[in-house]
Amino acid sequence: MGVLLRSPQQLPLGTLCAIDYAPREIGGNIVACLQDFAEIVKYELYRRAADTAWLNLTSQVSSADLPSMAMNAGDFRSAANQLLLINNGGFVANFICDVPKLQNINRTFGGAVGSELLLEIARRIRLTISKRRFLLGRDLPHRFVGLVDLSGPNDTLEKLADELSSTIGNRVQTSTNVISTPINIGLTLFAPADDSIDDSIRRAQLAIDDIPVTSSGVVTSVFRSELHDRMIRCYGIAAILEPALNDKNIQVFFQPKISVRNSQIIGAEALMRWTDDQLGPISPLEILEAAQKIDFMPLLDEGILKSVCSQLTAWMRRGLNVFPISINLSGTTFMLPNFVERVTSILSEYQLPFHLIDREGNSSCNCDYRAGINYLVDATTSYEFELALPDTSSSTRLEESKLKGWWGSCTASALRWWSRP
């Protein structure tokens, strides 16, 4: 008798084991022992095949992309798909390391600095995973992709995520600059059910998609099954966001601000509300997340500002008393080169005085304050606006000392600018 382990096409190293030629009656215990023995041989054959595959494939490092650091995209996918054939339940992590601001770095510091940055990140990744069997490639200009063997007794995705985050760090030294930039890492398990490495990469990308766009430093995210449905909904919202804004399906409601002294309304905050026929109620957080995915935040902010201005104008035409309305704006909108001009143009279009609009920064206002403060100071001074920034870093505090004379006290909870009366 014999136990078939694998077909030669799947595992060329062996197909049969536990052969007994003696003509005898096979009892239950003997059958159980043969099955156990078959499983042991099966595991040993898999382990040897995996060792051989890792050894052969890891040596296929191409110098076409980053010298001696990462395979090019074609070599990596070919090697990874070969591993897929022998990954019978083995614990192999697939990770993506993304540098989303690489294009900005190239524009600001030059392409040579960007290349140095990538080379150093690749070196730090290899330093982290070199104690295990691994493959490392670069499939996009700003992205590394890797496979790491997690067959060790204490290996987990979470542990690997912590190690990558700790080793890569928040600052990268090049020959001319110290670069501090967001680095996002998504991780998942390379599953035997995957048809190709692309299936696994998609899950790792979903994990990265769960990282807030405004995050800073090294942020890791491990794929969870519920992420798939949430991201499908997110991109479904993103697909209909612009038409919904244009058709006024995204409505603006006003939450009043009441004075504790006399119980009178002294202002209000503009809030987004949206219910879609197919997707149902869509929360403001879902709207913001979808808008960030497709770089729609400035247009969304502009649409909400116009809705508020339209409502204020309607109240004034009816002879009603009006009060300042607070509008949450994103950090992306604040940092637009023509931000002040665009807001001023909209207020002028509706013939509204500046003091009726109170512009606040929403939770996504985690922008590069040091880079933007000087511009905003110059621009808002020209238009007689005041500006306050949260005191979140030493660099902000240094700039604050130059601004206190005209801007007043700095709020610690919100990025806000408003017009002088």
**Higher pLDDT pick, 190 / 352:** 352
Q: Which stretch of 141-145, 220-224, 269-273, 330-334 has the lowest confidence by average pLDDT?
A: 330-334
Q: 121 near 168, Cβ under 8 Å?
A: yes
Tell me: pLDDT of 292 over 70: yes
What confidence score (pLDDT) does residue 44 get?
58
Q: 93 near 187, Cβ under 8 Å?
A: yes
Q: Which pLDDT band holds residue 154 (cuts at 50, 70, 90)?
A: confident
Tell me: pLDDT of 190 over 50: yes
Q: CB burial class (10 A; 0-12, 13-18, 19+) of residue 94?
A: buried
Tell me: pLDDT of 22 over 60: no
Domain annotation for the chain: domains and CATH numbers: 3-50 (no CATH), 60-223 (3.30.70.270), 237-367 (3.20.20.450)
What confidence score (pLDDT) does residue 192 get?
62
Structure tokens at 31: 């059958």
Tell me: pLDDT of 235 over 90: no
Residue indicated by tokens 């601001």: 101
pTM higher than 0.85: no
Q: 131 near 65, Cβ under 8 Å?
A: no
d(CA 317, CA 84): 69
Tell me: pLDDT of 372 over 80: no
Tell me: pLDDT of 328 over 90: no
d(CA 384, CA 46): 72
What confidence score (pLDDT) does residue 151 get?
78
- Report, as an integer, the average pLDDT of 49-60: 56
pLDDT digits (tens, 9 = 90+) for 120-144: 999 999 999 888 888 888 988 899 9
Q: Which pLDDT band holds residue 89 (cuts at 50, 70, 90)?
A: low
Tell me: pLDDT of 391 over 70: no
What confidence score (pLDDT) does residue 134 get?
86
Tell me: pLDDT of 15 over 50: no
What confidence score (pLDDT) does residue 251 get?
93
Q: Which pLDDT band holds residue 301 (cuts at 50, 70, 90)?
A: very high
| Element housing 192 (H / E) | none
Q: Which stretch of 99-108, 264-273, 371-380 has the lowest confidence by average pLDDT?
A: 371-380
* pLDDT over 70, % of the chain: 66
Residue type at position 403? L
Q: Which stretch of 1-10, 65-74, 242-251, 280-289 has the lowest confidence by average pLDDT?
A: 1-10
Averaged confidence pLDDT in the chain: 75
- Report, as an integer, the average pLDDT of 13-42: 57
- Report, as an integer, the average pLDDT of 388-396: 39
**Higher pLDDT pick, 305 / 385:** 305
Cβ-based neighbours of 89, under 8 Å, separated by 6 or more: 192
Tell me: pLDDT of 244 over 90: yes
- Report, as an integer, the average pLDDT of 68-72: 76
Per-range mean pLDDT, top range of 61-70, 270-279, 321-330, 380-389: 270-279
Tell me: pLDDT of 320 over 80: yes
- Report, as an integer, the average pLDDT of 177-190: 90
**Higher pLDDT pick, 339 / 370:** 339
What confidence score (pLDDT) does residue 63 get?
44
Count of C-beta atoms within a 10 Å radius of residue 145: 27
Phi, psi (degrees; rounded to nearest 5) at 55 = -65, -45
- Report, as an integer, the average pLDDT of 71-96: 77
